[in-house]
């Protein structure tokens, strides 16, 4: 299982193939992508060590709350353009409901607690976007 904060893009299909196993009847993925809502690009910054530690805590909470078989969380940082991947959460479980619930739990906690900051660049200038916990 992978839990990381990185500048590198992720290979979604490769990771899905690597995680498949006979005990899993469901795999749910969430892929966050830079959307065009008036921005030209974004810059993501993080305290990488702290961010990874918090992602690991969230992963462990998800395992404690839901009967999951695997969890991968990859969050990118750096300069990203419209259409670029930002975050991948891949959850495997015996059944689809468990996988969906685990995935939703992880993305909600990530947005609330993980120290990753976003600056948006538009034609009018730039601005830091406050997180939920700020």
Average pLDDT, the chain: 95
What pLDDT sits at residue 122?
A: 94
Task: Reply yes or no on whether the pLDDT at 88 is more than 60.
Answer: yes
User: Are 21 and 92 in contact, with CB atoms under 8 Å apart?
Assistant: yes
User: Order of strands across the sheet with 68-76?
Assistant: 3-6, 68-76, 85-93, 26-33
- pLDDT band at residue 131 under the 50/70/90 scheme: low
- pLDDT band at residue 133 under the 50/70/90 scheme: very low
Mean pLDDT of 30-45: 96
Task: Reply yes or no on whether the pLDDT at 109 is more than 90.
Answer: yes
Per-residue pLDDT tens digits for 51-85: 999 999 999 999 999 999 999 999 999 999 999 99
Mean pLDDT of 32-38: 95
Task: Reply yes or no on whether the pLDDT at 134 is more than 60.
Answer: no
Instruction: Provide the percentage of residues in the chain whose pLDDT is more than 70.
Output: 97
Per-residue pLDDT tens digits for 96-106: 999 999 999 99
- Three-state SS letters, the chain: CCEEEECCCCCHHHHHHHHCCCCCCEEEEEEEECCCCCCCEEEEEECHHHHHHHHHHHHHHHHHHCCEEEEEEEEECEEEECCCEEEEEEEEECCHHHHHHHHHHHHHHHHHHCCEEEEEEECCEEEEECCCCC
Residue ranges per structural domain of the chain:
3-127
Cα(106)–Cα(113) distance, rounded to whole angstroms?
A: 10
71: left (phi over 0), alpha (psi -120 to 50) or beta: beta
Query: What architecture is domain 3-127?
Result: Alpha-Beta Complex (3.90)
Say what the pTM is. Answer: 0.94
Mean pLDDT of 35-45: 95
């Amino acid at each position: 299982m992978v839990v990381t904060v990185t500048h590198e893009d992720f290979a979604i299909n490769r990771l899905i193939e690597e995680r498949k196993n006979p005990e899993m009847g469901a795999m749910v993925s969430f892929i966050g992508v830079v959307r065009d809502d008036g921005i030209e690009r974004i810059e993501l910054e993080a305290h990488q060590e702290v961010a990874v530690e918090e992602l690991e805590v969230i992963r462990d909470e998800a395992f404690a709350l839901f009967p999951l078989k695997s969890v991968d969380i990859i969050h990118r940082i750096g300069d990203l353009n419209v259409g670029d991947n930002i975050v991948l959460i891949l959850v495997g479980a015996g059944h689809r409901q468990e996988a969906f619930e685990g995935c939703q739990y992880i993305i909600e906690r990530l947005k609330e607690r993980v120290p990753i900051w976003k600056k948006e660049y538009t034609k009018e200038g730039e601005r830091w976007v406050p997180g939920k916990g700020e």
